Structure 1
Amino acid sequence: MTEPQYSLDDIRQNVTRIDNELLKLLAERRQLSLEVAKSKIQTAKPVRDQEREQDLLLRLIEVGKSHQLDAQYVTQIFHTIIEDSVLFQQAYLQKLANPDSLQPVARVSFLGAKGSYSNLASRSYFSKKQTKLVEMSCSTFRDVVSLVETGQADYGVLPIENTSSGSINEVYDLLQHTSLSIVGEITLPIEHCLLTAVDTRLEDIDTLYSHPQPHQQCSEYLHTMGNITQEYCSSTAEAMMKVAELKLPNVAAIGNASSGELYGLTPLKSGIANQQENFTRFIVVARKPVDVTSLIPAKTTLIMSTAQQAGSLVECLLVLRNLNINMTKLESRPVIGNPWEEMFYVDVEVNLKSEVMQQALEELTRLTRFIKVLGCYPIENVKPTEVEIEG
């Protein structure tokens, strides 16, 4: 048997050295992307250049092959790097566009205690802004909004829709009556697990603590568990806290595995969501709207009430189609106090300040009984540039 050329300690030291060098190079690359953003201000070029990204990826795949690196591996790594670069440039440009909103520390309200999905979304969103958080836990969505409205919090983070359970109606209803503006969004992968405080078996679980949304998102798996007593909580964090307090072999909570660690819980069963690709989109609200530079992709959200006659909504949607405005969301909610009347929520991928959006608003104002812009904000979800990988 051939003796290894290096000892295990030597190998680990070399791996550590290379990892440190990689981190240094990634930091250097990120700073160069900032210089790119500065140059784009002078030339008025958009942050993303899909054609250049595609050429870059194809070149890197070829270079990777010469180092015996798989094309999919190279692509996956650089998709992440490109996403970080785009978001880093967007954050820089947004700071220039909104100098009054520069805050090294932000007070942020969210549903649940530390470890809730809303808390994870808050941390993820503001970490990209390089902003420290003062975290303000709330027991209801109404409280999240109220803290911002009264100035006790600078921002509120609210879940708006999930790929499995759909729209979160309570949040849409709150948006109908608040004076707050949507200033940002973030999409978070949701990884539901059954979490327990003690060693136990799946067949011993007869009581489950959960927020209603995760329960709905995991309904198919929970159905296979038979007759389970469901105890609803105000958040996933509260559900985890309850199970941690009980320390019983027959109870479990639905939550995120890393969040469960905060409460001393361990996963008994992972991947229990109805859909493997389970994501929740969160919105960020504030008292004042933000300006979105034309160099980055933007989304505008508005609400409108149409006339109570056939074809009224269709006429409004035709305005968007005729102006080639991409609508990404259409949601209807009843108008409280007005039976059979509905308010429509619309997300469009266009900057509020653009000529085409201003024209659309002018036409929609003539066609609707009521219309209000809820906010214009940067699109934070960076779609990967696709390249063909030879099999």
Structure 2
Amino acid sequence: MKKVAIQGIQGSNHHIVAQNYYGADIELYEYLSFDALVDSLVRHTSEQAIMAIENTIAGSIIPNYALIDKYNLYISGEYYLNIHHHLMALPGQTIADIKEVCSHPMALLQCKEFFKQYEHIKLIEDTDTAGVAKRIKEQNLKGVAAIAPKIAADIFGLEVLEDGIQTIKNNATRFVFLQTSQPKNGIDQIDKASLKFELDHKRGSLAAVLNVMSDCKLNLTKIQSLPKIETPWKYAFFVDVTFNAYEDYAKAKSIVAIMAEDFKILGEYKNGRI
């Protein structure tokens, strides 16, 4: 059985991705923070880890880019999950009975418009969506609700008070699969790559790199900059590119490796968007 680490517990969105991607034949390791998740990989407690990296509403999870870079992790694949947030509590309660709603900060952010109509409810940040659902059940917490996937209500015996409370219904999160060794993805199956490089803060440096990618027929699907804290006015750029021909990508990365500093291939894999 493959040892797979997730952020959160059973019933979380990371758990759903694990089931959808790997199937049921896995040994699941649950961690309440992304730092602990990465540590399990580095210490070889787990073989692969699933990490949320960006959301269509909340945007990039910037600290996770830094974790992938710092610990030299490799992206072996990606998965896009449509996110459906459900409000759940102990059976027999209504929204009028709920005084507090606890959930992960991202879930609260994605549902904030829904709660504007319920001024009596206090929103409280917590470490995990499904973790709150589990605590409500175990501690018999009345007047407290969780925002979590429907699977959490099924697992912990809670009642769904409202379905699909996310602000934007077309809400998706991109997850990446991480490991410490370079994946053995075949060239014929690779049509996306995640790259990292550094540039000086001077006119035209980024534009020159992007022009190379364009000339080599790469489609830039993501760009994220992070300042180099130890080197003022220098930035690291994380980019995702897709391509039709591996030869075009190979040409582009060889040129960018010369133009930029600290060039790193974070992953070469199959595009998860169909």
For residues 235 and 338 of structure 1, the distance between their equivalents in structure 2, rounded to whole angstroms, comes to: 34
Q: CA deviation at 1:363?
A: 1.7
1:355 aligns to 2:247 (yes or no) = yes
Q: CA deviation at 1:344?
A: 1.1
Could you say which residue in structure 2 is the equivalent of 1:327? 220
Corresponding residue to 1:268 among 145, 152, 161: 161
Corresponding residue to 2:22 among 126, 133, 148: 126
Query: In 2 relative to 1, CA 339–246 (structure 1 residues): closer, same or farther, beyond 3 Å?
Result: farther
Counterpart secondary structure, 1:379: coil
Q: CA deviation at 1:300?
A: 0.6
| Equivalent residue letter for 1:307 | D
Corresponding residue to 1:367 among 245, 249, 259: 259
Corresponding residue to 1:115 among 4, 8, 11: 11
Query: In 2 relative to 1, CA 319–155 (structure 1 residues): closer, same or farther, beyond 3 Å?
Result: same
Is the Cα–Cα contact under 8 Å of residues 130 and 149 in structure 2 kept in the other structure?
A: no
Corresponding residue to 1:200 among 82, 89, 93: 93
Counterpart secondary structure, 2:188: coil
| Equivalent residue letter for 1:359 | K
1:243 aligns to 2:243 (yes or no) = no
For residues 155 and 103 of structure 2, the distance between their equivalents in structure 1, rounded to whole angstroms, comes to: 17
Q: Which has the higher contact order (CA 8 A, sep 6+)?
A: 2
Q: CA deviation at 1:290?
A: 2.0
Instruction: With the length of structure 2 as denominator, give the TM-score of the two structures.
Output: 0.94
Could you say which residue in structure 2 is the equivalent of 1:343? 236
Q: CA deviation at 1:265?
A: 0.9
**Alpha-carbon deviations, 1:330-383, whole Å to 9, x = none?**
1122223334432211011138x933222212221232122111011122332x
For residues 82 and 121 of structure 2, the distance between their equivalents in structure 1, rounded to whole angstroms, comes to: 26
Identity across aligned pairs (percent)? 28
Matches within 5 A, 1:163-178: 163-178=56-71
Could you say which residue in structure 1 is the equivalent of 2:273? 381
For residues 271 and 314 of structure 1, the distance between their equivalents in structure 2, rounded to whole angstroms, comes to: 41
1:223 aligns to 2:116 (yes or no) = yes
Q: CA deviation at 1:261?
A: 1.3
| Equivalent residue letter for 1:270 | D
| Equivalent residue letter for 1:123 | Q
| Equivalent residue letter for 1:299 | K
For residues 148 and 31 of structure 2, the distance between their equivalents in structure 1, rounded to whole angstroms, comes to: 18
**Alpha-carbon deviations, 1:59-87, whole Å to 9, x = none?**
xxxxxxxxxxxxxxxxxxxxxxxxxxxxx
For residues 270 and 344 of structure 1, the distance between their equivalents in structure 2, rounded to whole angstroms, comes to: 38
| Equivalent residue letter for 1:118 | H
The structure with the largest helix share of the pair is 1
Is the Cα–Cα contact under 8 Å of residues 292 and 298 in structure 1 kept in the other structure?
A: no
Matches within 5 A, 1:22-61: none
Counterpart secondary structure, 2:157: coil
Corresponding residue to 2:199 among 279, 290, 306: 306
Corresponding residue to 1:315 among 183, 200, 208: 208
Is the Cα–Cα contact under 8 Å of residues 88 and 159 in structure 2 kept in the other structure?
A: yes
For residues 152 and 258 of structure 1, the distance between their equivalents in structure 2, rounded to whole angstroms, comes to: 26
Q: CA deviation at 1:153?
A: 0.6
Corresponding residue to 2:174 among 281, 284, 293: 281
Query: In 2 relative to 1, CA 224–340 (structure 1 residues): closer, same or farther, beyond 3 Å?
Result: farther
Could you say which residue in structure 2 is the equivalent of 1:86? none
Is the Cα–Cα contact under 8 Å of residues 110 and 158 in structure 1 kept in the other structure?
A: yes
Counterpart secondary structure, 1:230: strand
Instruction: With the length of structure 1 as denominator, give the TM-score of the two structures.
Output: 0.67
Matches within 5 A, 1:3-18: none
Q: CA deviation at 1:227?
A: 4.7
Counterpart secondary structure, 1:219: coil
Could you say which residue in structure 2 is the equivalent of 1:53? none
Counterpart secondary structure, 2:10: coil
| Equivalent residue letter for 2:236 | M
Query: In 2 relative to 1, CA 297–181 (structure 1 residues): closer, same or farther, beyond 3 Å?
Result: closer
Query: In 2 relative to 1, CA 227–315 (structure 1 residues): closer, same or farther, beyond 3 Å?
Result: farther
| Equivalent residue letter for 1:138 | Y
Counterpart secondary structure, 2:166: coil
Counterpart secondary structure, 2:116: helix
**Alpha-carbon deviations, 1:109-136, whole Å to 9, x = none?**
0111111111111111112xxx720000
Query: In 2 relative to 1, CA 366–256 (structure 1 residues): closer, same or farther, beyond 3 Å?
Result: same
1:181 aligns to 2:74 (yes or no) = yes
Which consecutive unaligned segments of at least 5 residues does structure 2 have? Answer: none
